[in-house]
């Protein structure tokens, strides 16, 4: 028996082979990744972890073929006996490939329950103060900059279940099936700036660019004139302010501006949110076609490279976009002003949150 991550466990069930990829093993904290061409287990780390080295799986590239699918599994899944099992990559790395941003310093922006802004980088580096680091990616011999914000699209279920359609003695109504479409319409009916409301999306603390588990969300500048529509838009804008905060440190990490950004994930399906991201972050946002399928598409592309059907360099030419969102200069002033106050709210309230939630 060996320790395996979720992706590698599935590969074991499919192929009968124990293995981990260079890009799935770092979160075990037992591997030395300082030389991208020589990722290996580190005996000093293993000693500190007090684990049995024999329980750690062999390391492979994401594009290595583990073997044929097990006959009994092929029968259960209705697949041919000659189907190959490829080592593959975890979700972050697969999304990177599925975004089409596979060249050095080309950025992709993922908006799902959480969010991240990442890119392939040709160097090993760590920013311990803002939780950004270079880790192995699906492309052999390449790192990518890793960071992640705790909640992005995850604010929408909170908005729906706790503000718009809460279930309690006063109200017990299920949200309509098209609730996300209605949220988008409400947000689009409000001018940029949401009536100068600011929502901080730290509902579960934050990871990047500050690692602070005591932070909490809030809606600031409420008045008797505040409308629900403004609160809805403030939720979308608050995630965008948080993303801009992250973007600044990622660009400092890589030493250059990332423009455009390829956006993927379920949140990218919203035209309104994509326009807000473009305006707040002052970057061109290119929505990859079928953005919610980026991880699955990336996994398929990694397998295609493994089987010799294409090269990683071919992927940008295969990437299709379903929308290009340019920053609107007319919204620059209000969003810059509110973003500065978003940061001021963090500085002013972090000590309060620490006292309340420590």
Q: Name the average pLDDT for the chain.
A: 97
Q: What tokens does 226 get?
A: 């505040």
| CATH node for 1-88 | 3.30.420.40
Order the strands of the 285-288 sheet from edge to edge: 126-127, 132-136, 143-146, 115-121, 107-111, 261-264, 285-288, 321-325
Domain limits of the chain?
1-88, 100-293+317-358
- Say yes or no to pLDDT of 358 above 90: no
Mean pLDDT for the stretch of residues 13-29 = 97
Please, which pLDDT band fits residue 152 given cuts at 50, 70 and 90? very high
DSSP string for 249-283: HHHHHHTS---SEEEESGGGG-HHHHHHHHHHHTS
Rounded CA separation 87/68 (Å): 12
Please, which pLDDT band fits residue 85 given cuts at 50, 70 and 90? very high
Which residues are paired to 144 by β-bridges?
A: 120, 135
249-264 tens-digit pLDDT: 999 999 999 999 999 9
Of 171-175, 181-185, 338-342, 344-348, the least confident:
171-175
65-80 tens-digit pLDDT: 999 999 999 999 999 9
CB contact at 8 A, 189 and 234: no
Query: So what's the pLDDT on residue 329?
Result: 98
**H or E element that contains 19:** none
Q: Which CATH code of 3.30.1540.20, 3.40.50.2300, 2.40.37.10, 3.30.420.40 fits the domain covering 100-293+317-358?
A: 3.30.420.40
207-224 tens-digit pLDDT: 999 999 999 999 999 999
Closest CA to 338 of 221, 205, 226: 221
Q: What tokens does 95 get?
A: 């999304």
Q: What tokens does 64 get?
A: 């290595």
Rounded CA separation 263/197 (Å): 25
């Amino acid at each position: 028996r060996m320790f395996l991550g979720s992706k590698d466990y599935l590969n074991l069930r499919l192929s009968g082979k124990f293995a981990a990829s260079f890009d799935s093993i770092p979160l075990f904290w037992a591997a030395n990744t300082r030389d991208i061409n020589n990722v290996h287990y580190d005996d000093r780390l293993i000693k500190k972890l007090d684990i049995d080295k024999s329980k750690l799986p062999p390391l492979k590239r994401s594009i290595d073929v583990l073997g044929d699918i097990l006959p009994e599994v092929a029968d259960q899944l209705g697949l041919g006996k000659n189907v190959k099992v490829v080592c593959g990559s975890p979700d972050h790395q697969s999304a990177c490939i599925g975004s089409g941003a596979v060249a050095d310093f080309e950025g992709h922006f993922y908006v799902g329950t959480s969010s991240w802004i990442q890119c392939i980088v040709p160097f090993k580096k760590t920013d311990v103060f803002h939780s950004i680091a270079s880790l192995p990616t699906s492309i052999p011999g390449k790192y990518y900059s890793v960071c992640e914000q705790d909640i992005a699209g995850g604010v929408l279920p909170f908005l729906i279940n706790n503000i718009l359609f809460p279930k309690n003695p006063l109200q017990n109504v299920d949200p309509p099936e098209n609730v996300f479409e209605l949220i988008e319409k409400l947000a689009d009916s409000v001018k940029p700036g949401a009536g100068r409301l600011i929502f901080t999306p730290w509902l579960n603390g934050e990871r990047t660019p500050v690692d602070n588990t005591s932070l909490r969300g809030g809606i600031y500048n409420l008045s008797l004139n505040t409308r629900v529509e403004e609160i809805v838009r403030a939720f979308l804008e608050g995630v965008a302010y948080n993303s801009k905060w992250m973007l600044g440190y990622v660009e400092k990490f890589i030493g250059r501006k990332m423009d455009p950004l390829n956006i993927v994930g379920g949140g990218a399906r919203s035209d309104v949110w994509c326009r807000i991201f473009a305006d707040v972050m002052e970057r061109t946002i290119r929505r990859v076609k079928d953005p919610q399928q980026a991880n699955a598409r990336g996994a398929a592309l990694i397998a295609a490279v493994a089987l010799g059907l294409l090269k990683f360099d071919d992927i940008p030419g295969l990437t299709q976009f379903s929308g290009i969102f340019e920053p609107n200069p007319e919204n620059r002033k209000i969003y810059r002003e509110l973003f500065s106050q978003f940061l001021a709210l963090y500085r002013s309230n972090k000590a309060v949150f620490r006292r309340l939630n420590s």
